[in-house]
Structure 1
Amino acid sequence: MHTDRVYVVTGGTRGIGAAIAQGLRDDGARVCVLARQPDPAEGVAVDLADPSSVPAAFERVLDRWGRIDGLVNNAGISKVGPSLDYDLADFARILDVNVTSLFACSQAAAKAMAAQGGGSIVSIASMTSFTGQPERAAYIASKHAVLGLTRALANDWGPHGIRVNAVSPGYIRTDLTTDLIARGVLDVDAIEGRMPLRRFGQPSDVVGAVKFLLSAEAGYTTGQALVVDGGWTVNGYFK
């Protein structure tokens, strides 16, 4: 499906991003990982907390890989804390990584795609793009913004043959969530009991959604958010 395509995956060195990058490689694609410390053989180093560094990073991508068929905006950060005392510098840094750099990456990739005649951009949003949670003001604001950008850029770049979509994951089994479960921060029984599918997601659930939106099978789909959350956001009932 993706043979000989070139895909850029931000934050692709761990967690869901690493799973996405490997899943695309398994399909025969060439994958460039953008991260602070990627394997030099597989990526380009960039600090997405500094959005001004993004254009030069994409120049290096094009110099080395020659083209960009798809971009997966996966990089994101968060910090939990009461909003009455939330540090403004932390708030700004989260928005820089999750929103401003996401736009900068999308813009840089879209310029290359427009010159090639088209491409596909998929951003990793969140089920909290549709909801709220306590003590995550910056993260949730940023993930709402990701959906707004997805819809805006789909309008702007559709005439260039560029599709822009999002995947909104829920609770996914990663090293981070496994650690939170082990420390008692997440209650697995309570979470799974509320989900219609009664299970945490696996990285493969997100990978499959991303692959679909990148592929020709989604060729008439743009400006959409594919929610991969086991039904969490459609269940308004609390036992």
Structure 2
Amino acid sequence: MGQLDGKVALVTGGARGMGAEHVRRFVAEGARVVFGDLLDHEGTALAAELGSAVRYVHHDVTSEADWSAAVSEAVTHYGRLDAVVNNAGILRFVPIAEMALADFTTVMNVNVTGTWLGIKTAAPALAEAGGGSVVNVSSVEGFVGAAGLSAYSASKFAIRGITKSAARELGHLGIRVNSLHPGGIATPMTAAVSGASGVDGDGFFASLPIPRWGQPVEVSHVAAFLASDAASYCTGGEFVVDGGMLTGCGY
């Protein structure tokens, strides 16, 4: 038996990278999953791979209409909604002095507004199901800053605050809300950052207590735990999956 047997989940940014691993892991644990993205080609391919346990929807997380449609898809086709993984996110690697306001605003809209809208829109369906779980994907940059990532870091700090406020507001409805903080995970997005920054990613991660890049599925295991009944007394928490990156300086 899987730890998510009988549950229905909604995953954003699920077409590739870490989001796709969340979808695969949740299905492997027995869940049925609606997942959304803007990458329709990759999304439909993943849906074809996984079959009737999933449904793909085109989903702009900054759109109230798209959020309503995604939640409706879960309830209409699978009968309920038990978990939401707010995974969709973007970054721009640009120093503050060179960053356009429009780029800063875009990052904040997707990462922060998208997460907030997800909680707001899904909460009634989660409550109707008797309660559920929201997993907000933040980052280690939600605890520390990084040069060139001012907008991304600001957005990931904000997700921590939204998570704690939502946990306070929604607990009486049986809805748990936690944040998940990946470190250096081998995904297309982190590969792009390494290239843009000129940082030797392999060399940096070799200095960690767990001296390697993390794999997306290692984050997905924690997301599945938080969505499951095994995490029934966890809310407002911050769950770090970073190979020890935040333990301190490497000396």
TM (norm. structure 1) is 0.92
Task: Report the counterpart of residue 51 of structure 2 in structure 1.
Answer: none
Corresponding position: 1:165 with 2:178: yes
Task: Report the counterpart of residue 31 of structure 1 in structure 2.
Answer: 33
Task: Report the counterpart of residue 212 of structure 2 in structure 1.
Answer: 199
TM-aligned CA distance change 1:71 to 1:198, over 3 Å = same
Corresponding position: 1:50 with 2:39: no
Unaligned runs of 5+ in 1: none
Corresponding position: 1:65 with 2:67: no
Query: Using the alignment, how far apart are the partners of 1:232 and 1:152 within structure 2?
Result: 26
3-state DSSP of counterpart to 2:73? helix
Query: Using the alignment, how far apart are the partners of 2:111 and 2:192 within structure 1?
Result: 23
Between the aligned residues of both structures, percent identity stands at 37
Matches within 5 A, 1:10-21: 10-21=12-23
Matches within 5 A, 1:80-159: 80-159=93-172
1:213 is matched by which residue type in structure 2?
A: L
Question: How far apart are 1:189 and its partner, in Å?
Answer: 4.3
Question: How far apart are 1:184 and its partner, in Å?
Answer: 8.6
Query: Using the alignment, how far apart are the partners of 2:220 and 2:155 within structure 1?
Result: 22
8 Å contact from structure 1 (residues 51, 100) kept in 2:
no
Query: Using the alignment, how far apart are the partners of 1:161 and 1:88 within structure 2?
Result: 39
TM (norm. structure 2) is 0.88
Query: Using the alignment, how far apart are the partners of 2:113 and 2:194 within structure 1?
Result: 31
| Superposed CA offset, 1:134-182 (max 9, x none) | 1111111100001111111000000000000011000012244456667
Question: How far apart are 1:198 and its partner, in Å?
Answer: 1.1
Task: Report the counterpart of residue 91 of structure 2 in structure 1.
Answer: 78
3-state DSSP of counterpart to 1:42? strand
Runs of at least 4 residues off by over 4 Å: 178-184
| Superposed CA offset, 1:174-212 (max 9, x none) | 244456667893414431243111111111210111111
| Superposed CA offset, 1:35-67 (max 9, x none) | 122327622212224355422432333222321
Q: How large is the RMSD of aligned CA atoms in angstroms? A: 2.0
Query: Using the alignment, how far apart are the partners of 2:156 and 2:136 within structure 1?
Result: 10
Query: Using the alignment, how far apart are the partners of 1:82 and 1:118 within structure 2?
Result: 42
Task: Report the counterpart of residue 6 of structure 2 in structure 1.
Answer: 4
3-state DSSP of counterpart to 1:90? helix
Query: Using the alignment, how far apart are the partners of 2:202 and 2:126 within structure 1?
Result: 45
Question: How far apart are 1:9 and its partner, in Å?
Answer: 0.4
3-state DSSP of counterpart to 2:114? helix
8 Å contact from structure 1 (residues 9, 34) kept in 2:
yes
